[in-house]
Structure 1
Amino acid sequence: MGDKMTPIPFNKLMDWIFEEHEKGTVFGLRRPYIANPKRYYEIFGKKLETPMGPAAGPNTQLAQNIVASYYGGARFFELKTVQKIDGEDLVVEKPCIAANDECYNSEWSTELYVSQAFDEYVKAWFALKVIATEFGLGAPDGFQFNMSVGYDLEGIKLPKIDRFIEGMKDASDTKIFKECKEWLAKNMGKFKKFSVHDLDAIGPQITDSATLSTLHGCPPQEIERIANYLLTEKKVNTFVKCNPTLLGYDYARKTMDEMGYDYVAFDDHHFKEDLQYEEAIPMLHRLQELGEERGLEFGVKITNTFPVDITRQELPGDEMYMSGKSLFALSMSVARNLSRDFDGSLRISFSGGADAFNINEIVDAGIWPVTMATTLLKPGGYERFDQIAKNLEKLQVKSFRGVDVEKTAAIVESAKQDCHYVKPIKPLPSRKSRKQVPLVDCFMAPCEEQCPIHQDITSYLKLVQEGKMEEALEVIIDKNPLPFITGTICAHTCMNKCTRNFYETSVNIRKVKLEAAKGGYDELIKKLKKPEITSDKTAVIVGGGPAGLAAGYFLARGGIQATIIEKKEKMGGVPRNSISGFRMNDEDIDKDVSLVKAMGVNFVNNTTVTDIDELKKEYDYVILSVGASEKNTLVLDGKETYDGIEFLEDFNQTSGHVNLGKNVAVIGGGNTAMDVARASKRNEGVEKVSLVYRRTKRYMPADEEELLMVIEDGIDFAELLSPVKMEDGQLICKKMKLGDYDDSGRRSVYETQETVKIPADTVISAVGEKVPAKFYKENHIELNERGRVLVNPETMETSVPGVYVAGDCVFGPATIVEGIRDGKMAAEAILGKKFDHEFATMTPSEIVYGRKGNLNEESPEITDGTRCLSCNSICESCVEVCPNRANISIEVPGMKKHQIIHVDYMCNECGNCKTFCPYDSAPYLDKFTLFATQEDMENSKNHGFLVVNKETGECKVRIAGQISDYKVGTDSPSVPEGLRGMIDTVVKSYAYMFV
């Protein structure tokens, strides 16, 4: 494998389009956008059915990329930039795209030779003309191409660039134009609607507009000379790309910091070296006047790239270019400033974070055409154009009458507060699993994979969506006996993995679980029957928290009589005694407890266990789930702080009447610290609560949701402070500073000599609890060097036979659902069987595909059930995000799920599919690969195959480095059945993939 793409010949391109269309897709897209012939914009004196399309980037590099864009709804195509350095001379380190949130890239112009790029654009021009008519997608003159050239006048005047520009203006004498037209003329029999008349109407004027792209540091005189040249010598309508550096360093840095992008590193050298705003205004006035004199349109393209430093190994090298949501407010700020200083008369083409959420307000402000790249590089891919085009149908079509200055300014201010552009407080966790992607059946639901108990999330989401609450709750309690507790305060790591995060926000899985619990409980509890006791053995669980309740529940379901002993008055553990005061009510906890009790579990309360040997005389098995119940008291200069868990219990018992004083300081940054701070704020007499942590809130271990609730409660964040001592109603802290980034992306921190005083009548520490080591030692249970119980990780059994543990004592303070996992594991070990029933509820493919590509937040009309992408049924993220369409979904007879084939010759190793594959894998390296030539196969280590003879079906297949011969339709011990099926299917049904 190499990173050089092989363009598809025109005849093969057309065969591919039409043969795949027979299967219902075109380059993987399933929803063609049908334009209204009566609705069109006008620019450069020509029609434009939708005022948007792909930006000059990875999505306009190859003909198939442009075809996919058009099929999805794009009608304005800013072609990838051509420049003097091309082909083999252009070195782009790979991977070159990192689009997991805001986007970064390190490639800027076509990786093809200029002559190849020209051919791609002409092929695409013909292909779009044909399918517009043949597939009824719109008028054949309803789209426009826009060439992009750079980066200096000397380079633009080179013969190869000049030929490119002149050829785009009139391609009639070019070899590729003649070749395309001749092939169509000879193959008119393939078409039902496209006629000879339509062919004759295809003109050679590919485009008479250009967008000038200049490198950072290009002198203003050079920019003006190039624009003059394009307007006067080349006689093309011209846009000049403007950089965000026009805003000045201080504005850009302040805006980025305020919007949460303080970690994005850049200095002021580009701002000093680039075109200055005071130079830009008169220059643009002159060029605007020149365009009017020449009868050509002139405007600006906002924006060009925004260079930032590589500090966290996002991409190879030292500098990369930022785009996407983090660029939106900056780009719109440039538009605001220019529209203000030109009274709206300057035409603005826009790119910089546009998507379905903002397209209407951009266009409504008079800013168009709009091009985009980042949104297309995320799951949904080109299919996102369909929603964008349909959104635009809500606007009244207007010719360009100027940019609305007030609307543009309003967009800027709105963007600075909008959750779609403001960075979350916490860095987004990796959404990859630890598993390697399999060669077949690679579809999985990342949410279910991440869940410690592997809840059947997609199944119960579907049932709730259908209104089947009782059935949904049945699915939930199969693995989770505490749906009310987990539906309220679960850490919901499943939601961190939700593919929807790459669209807008996660499906609210936890909330849907609670809906199912509340909607299905009354009916389900009536039907639950105590399982038959099938064993003469008995078991006792010490501790009635989540882990203990889960252990009892699964033991009883498995036929063993189980008893839970709890030292408190009621079952429920930390959720009952520490959290329930203001985050959930006792009634909901009682319902979870009743689900456990319905299984026949015995409850013994107000009883403290100290001697395990005594228990073993009465019970055959013992499970200890006593949690991290020992206080981890923080001592400052000889004075003890108030323990956080102890305070929460006191808060609940006194209904918020703990004597704390007016000012409270809470030390810690985890979820418990957040609960302590919020409870303190609600406590009688407290006026101010300060949350003290040695790093910034971005690096606190607490969940994003917890931090947001603390902010909403008006609690002060006392960041970068390390507590030293308490005196005279104050907490004395050393001020800290953030240092460099480590390999994990977290910043180091170091102490300064400066001190800060925080008002504190009471100081509460929430820095974690400790495992009660003394209890285990006294009962002869071995601990590791960290004071945690040594167990068999497969069974949770301790060093004492027949004694098991579950919960915090094994891995340290854990989440509720991790406690449920441990209790279930211990129960399964005792029972000798697994509770691993899978509710494989497959969502019909037409429903899944109908949701893909659409950005939708939850609303009364759009529920979380309809937002779920059913990844257990269909994933295909690698297919959707590939700009070049090099990952292809195929239907293999006999296999339930679609399979993925990677097409080697179409891939340039940009790395985008690696970003979005839910496995710890890169599909372009790890999926089964189709090779075009023997040389390609030899240059790769991928598992894959080469078709040696298409007629006879003879192939070379490489698996795990071993190459063997295979003939389609035969058995082969060296090629697994699933892979044989994929090869056979490609050869028989997808032969158009062969070049």
Structure 2
Amino acid sequence: MGKATGFLEFPRQNEGYEAPEKRVRHYKEFVLALDDQAAKLQGARCMDCGIPFCNNGCPVNNIIPDFNDLVYRQDWKSAIEVLHSTNNFPEFTGRICPAPCEAACTLGINDEPVGIKSIEHAIIDKAWEEGWVEPQVPAHKTGKTVAVVGSGPAGMAAAQQLARVGHDVTLFEKNDRIGGLLRYGIPDFKLEKTLIDRRMAQMQAEGVTFRTGVLVGSDNMPAGIVNDAREVVSAQSLLDQFDAVLLTGGSEVPRDLPVPGRELKGVHYALEFLIPQNKEVAGDGKNPIRADGKHVIVIGGGDTGSDCVGTSNRHGAASVTQFELLPQPPESENKPLVWPYWPIKLRTSSSHEEGCERDWSVATKALTGENGKVTGLTAVRVEWKDGRMQEVAGSEFTLKADLVLLAMGFTNPVGSVLEAFGVDRDARQNAKAATEGEQAYATNVPKVFAAGDMRRGQSLVVWAIREGRQAARTVDAYLMGHSELPR
């Protein structure tokens, strides 16, 4: 490493934020990225630990010590080449990945880990500014055709990899814009959509064809799933037209809350609130679900719930309360016990800092209303013993609620797509496909493959990119007999 003692000399420096009172007035990104000098010092903290656990902590196996060292040496162009060798879209992961690599950092055993995510963010932003991100047009075309169904990060990564080795790739999306939950699930204040648009331009130059508003399978969509399809294409037509089909849709079926009052107006799945808001920011008309002046309750303590909190604050909610069924995690993890694995600890997002009451070990008993509209929520405190939840006697309480958002995660992908192709499903109703061996990501149906949340279940953007890249290699090998794509 360029600075062998850097971890002893320089403290961790986190990226900054615009003040909450300012950022809640807009939907732009508000993270203050590290400048060149701060990124250099952060790269200097990488400690030449011998066994870089961060590489395995990262699902795409980013070559982290190498690009840390290159940033320390201010060789930014080499840094982006190393970063792009494993990650198609570091501008996405550098913004919204929870950074399991940092949890695995050796320095994190007894100190603050290296700010790997902030370095990644700095590298890719400089690369775009300097014009180093260019289309990688294949030297020759193979004559093979591939349909990729679902344009989230898994589909985008797979489509780009396959196009770069010369296949004719068509990426299908049921909604009106490419990007999946990157486009519509994640608010603009966390990920501005111009980042997706410029990657799309690169992919088009590389030979990817985008078809939006096309639903593959049937128009039988479960409740809570936004569907802008103008056209329905049968599974058989794709099998007839393409040499291979890769299914990369998301895990979109939301977990419901079966309690009395669920049918009241003002009770919505999280994405019924977030997707129209992203469309509003894009200029597609007003979000019909408003939090202005309302008492908002968000049920679910994860990232989607946090996004509901941030969006409600930007609407001007009177109050925002977030419930979590599980107990409150410890403020700091037990590092000797959990390192290098992802720790359970209290995580406070930027949205929480903008204004939110949080409560743990709370179960919703009923929703109450007047004239068909929700007006309140009845809950009870619970305790966990031997992995089982028990209600605490006499702990019921009620809260005023004008808008209730259900952000309790997603159970499985849309079944109609898998049914249309005849793909077998696992016990969790995801597409059944292994991830190892020559048949990795292959389903039971000849020339049909599956990757991302559709195969894995609800997961992270970085895992979707990993699976998209790996599936692309398998598809390429299936078509050509071998593959030079990285795994």
TM-score category of the 2 structures, normalised to the smaller one: 0.7 to 0.9
Q: Is the 8 A contact 2:269 2:407 kept in 1?
A: yes
1:570 aligns with 2:212: no
CA distance in 1, matches of 2:203, 2:345: 31
Report the secondary structure of 2:367's partner residue.
Answer: strand
| Residues 458, 559 of structure 1: alpha-carbon distance in 2 compared, 3 angstrom cutoff | same
Alignment of 1:896-911 (within 5 A): none
Q: Is the 8 A contact 1:782 1:789 kept in 2?
A: yes
| Residues 826, 606 of structure 1: alpha-carbon distance in 2 compared, 3 angstrom cutoff | same
Kindly state the Cα deviation for residue 518 of structure 1 after the two structures are TM-superposed.
1.1
Q: Is the 8 A contact 1:447 1:498 kept in 2?
A: yes
- Aligned residue for 2:231? none
Alignment of 1:772-783 (within 5 A): 772-783=414-425
- Aligned residue for 2:155? 548
CA distance in 2, matches of 1:642, 1:540: 33
Kindly state the Cα deviation for residue 623 of structure 1 after the two structures are TM-superposed.
0.6
- Aligned residue for 2:359? 718
Kindly state the Cα deviation for residue 492 of structure 1 after the two structures are TM-superposed.
1.4
Listed as ranges, the gaps of 5+ residues in structure 2 are 11-48, 218-233, 332-341, 370-374, 478-482
Kindly state the Cα deviation for residue 703 of structure 1 after the two structures are TM-superposed.
7.9
1:751 aligns with 2:391: yes
- Aligned residue for 1:947? none
Kindly state the Cα deviation for residue 638 of structure 1 after the two structures are TM-superposed.
4.9
Deviations 1:704-756 (A, max 9, x none): 685242431221012221001111311101111354xx6xxxx7642123201
Q: Is the 8 A contact 2:362 2:379 kept in 1?
A: yes
- Aligned residue for 1:633? 256
Deviations 1:640-671 (A, max 9, x none): 44111221102222348532351011111222
CA distance in 2, matches of 1:473, 1:697: 39
Report the secondary structure of 2:214's partner residue.
Answer: coil
Deviations 1:276-320 (A, max 9, x none): xxxxxxxxxxxxxxxxxxxxxxxxxxxxxxxxxxxxxxxxxxxxx
Q: Is the 8 A contact 1:487 1:514 kept in 2?
A: yes
Alignment of 1:314-329 (within 5 A): none
Kindly state the Cα deviation for residue 555 of structure 1 after the two structures are TM-superposed.
0.8
CA distance in 1, matches of 2:115, 2:240: 47
CA distance in 1, matches of 2:211, 2:432: 27
Select which of 635, 642, 655 maps to 2:268: 642
CA distance in 2, matches of 1:811, 1:527: 31
Report the secondary structure of 1:698's partner residue.
Answer: coil
- Aligned residue for 2:379? 733
Q: Is the 8 A contact 1:807 1:823 kept in 2?
A: yes
CA distance in 2, matches of 1:535, 1:705: 50
> 1:820 is matched by which residue type in structure 2?
I
Deviations 1:189-234 (A, max 9, x none): xxxxxxxxxxxxxxxxxxxxxxxxxxxxxxxxxxxxxxxxxxxxxx
CA distance in 1, matches of 2:175, 2:155: 13
Kindly state the Cα deviation for residue 541 of structure 1 after the two structures are TM-superposed.
0.5
| Residues 708, 638 of structure 1: alpha-carbon distance in 2 compared, 3 angstrom cutoff | closer
CA distance in 1, matches of 2:277, 2:324: 23
CA distance in 2, matches of 1:548, 1:681: 32
- Aligned residue for 1:652? 278
Kindly state the Cα deviation for residue 695 of structure 1 after the two structures are TM-superposed.
2.6
- Aligned residue for 2:97? 490
Report the secondary structure of 1:460's partner residue.
Answer: helix
> 1:777 is matched by which residue type in structure 2?
E
CA distance in 2, matches of 1:828, 1:751: 50
- Aligned residue for 1:148? none
> 2:318 is matched by which residue type in structure 1?
E
- Aligned residue for 2:246? 623
CA distance in 1, matches of 2:419, 2:177: 27
> 2:390 is matched by which residue type in structure 1?
Y
CA distance in 1, matches of 2:350, 2:133: 36
1:785 aligns with 2:427: yes
Structure with higher helix content: 1
- Aligned residue for 2:307? 675
CA distance in 2, matches of 1:726, 1:527: 53
| Residues 604, 706 of structure 1: alpha-carbon distance in 2 compared, 3 angstrom cutoff | farther
Report the secondary structure of 2:329's partner residue.
Answer: helix
Residue-pair matches, total: 396
CA distance in 2, matches of 1:615, 1:663: 47
Q: Percent identity?
A: 26
Kindly state the Cα deviation for residue 618 of structure 1 after the two structures are TM-superposed.
1.1
Q: Is the 8 A contact 1:479 1:835 kept in 2?
A: no
Q: Is the 8 A contact 2:103 2:343 kept in 1?
A: no
Select which of 817, 834, 839 maps to 2:462: 817
CA distance in 1, matches of 2:100, 2:452: 17
Deviations 1:857-878 (A, max 9, x none): xxxxxxxxxxxxxxxxxxxxxx
Q: Is the 8 A contact 1:470 1:523 kept in 2?
A: no
CA distance in 1, matches of 2:133, 2:319: 47
Kindly state the Cα deviation for residue 776 of structure 1 after the two structures are TM-superposed.
1.0
Alignment of 1:441-460 (within 5 A): 443-460=50-67
Kindly state the Cα deviation for residue 449 of structure 1 after the two structures are TM-superposed.
1.2
CA distance in 2, matches of 1:809, 1:566: 14
- Aligned residue for 2:350? 709
CA distance in 2, matches of 1:569, 1:687: 33
Alignment of 1:913-952 (within 5 A): none
Larger of the two Rg values belongs to structure: 1
Kindly state the Cα deviation for residue 624 of structure 1 after the two structures are TM-superposed.
0.8
Q: Is the 8 A contact 1:730 1:757 kept in 2?
A: yes
1:689 aligns with 2:320: yes
| Residues 782, 802 of structure 1: alpha-carbon distance in 2 compared, 3 angstrom cutoff | same
CA distance in 1, matches of 2:108, 2:62: 19
CA distance in 2, matches of 1:523, 1:736: 54
CA distance in 2, matches of 1:829, 1:693: 40
> 1:496 is matched by which residue type in structure 2?
A
> 1:733 is matched by which residue type in structure 2?
A
CA distance in 2, matches of 1:579, 1:527: 26
Deviations 1:166-207 (A, max 9, x none): xxxxxxxxxxxxxxxxxxxxxxxxxxxxxxxxxxxxxxxxxx
> 2:460 is matched by which residue type in structure 1?
T
Alignment of 1:130-141 (within 5 A): none
CA distance in 2, matches of 1:819, 1:444: 26
Deviations 1:352-391 (A, max 9, x none): xxxxxxxxxxxxxxxxxxxxxxxxxxxx9xxx7x99xxxx
Q: Is the 8 A contact 1:546 1:573 kept in 2?
A: yes
Q: Is the 8 A contact 1:470 1:521 kept in 2?
A: no
CA distance in 1, matches of 2:204, 2:470: 19
Q: Is the 8 A contact 1:737 1:750 kept in 2?
A: yes
Q: Is the 8 A contact 1:469 1:517 kept in 2?
A: no
1:589 aligns with 2:196: yes
Select which of 452, 455, 468 maps to 1:807: 452
Q: TM-score, normalised by structure 2?
A: 0.75
Kindly state the Cα deviation for residue 455 of structure 1 after the two structures are TM-superposed.
0.9
CA distance in 1, matches of 2:472, 2:104: 28
- Aligned residue for 2:14? none
Alignment of 1:325-724 (within 5 A): 443-525=50-132, 527-610=134-217, 611-640=234-263, 641-655=267-281, 658-660=289-291, 662-684=294-316, 686-698=317-329, 707-724=348-365
Report the secondary structure of 1:579's partner residue.
Answer: coil
Q: Is the 8 A contact 2:328 2:361 kept in 1?
A: no
Kindly state the Cα deviation for residue 491 of structure 1 after the two structures are TM-superposed.
2.3
| Residues 766, 699 of structure 1: alpha-carbon distance in 2 compared, 3 angstrom cutoff | farther
| Residues 520, 605 of structure 1: alpha-carbon distance in 2 compared, 3 angstrom cutoff | same
Kindly state the Cα deviation for residue 787 of structure 1 after the two structures are TM-superposed.
1.0
- Aligned residue for 1:44? none
Kindly state the Cα deviation for residue 528 of structure 1 after the two structures are TM-superposed.
3.5
CA distance in 2, matches of 1:553, 1:737: 48
Q: Is the 8 A contact 2:330 2:344 kept in 1?
A: no
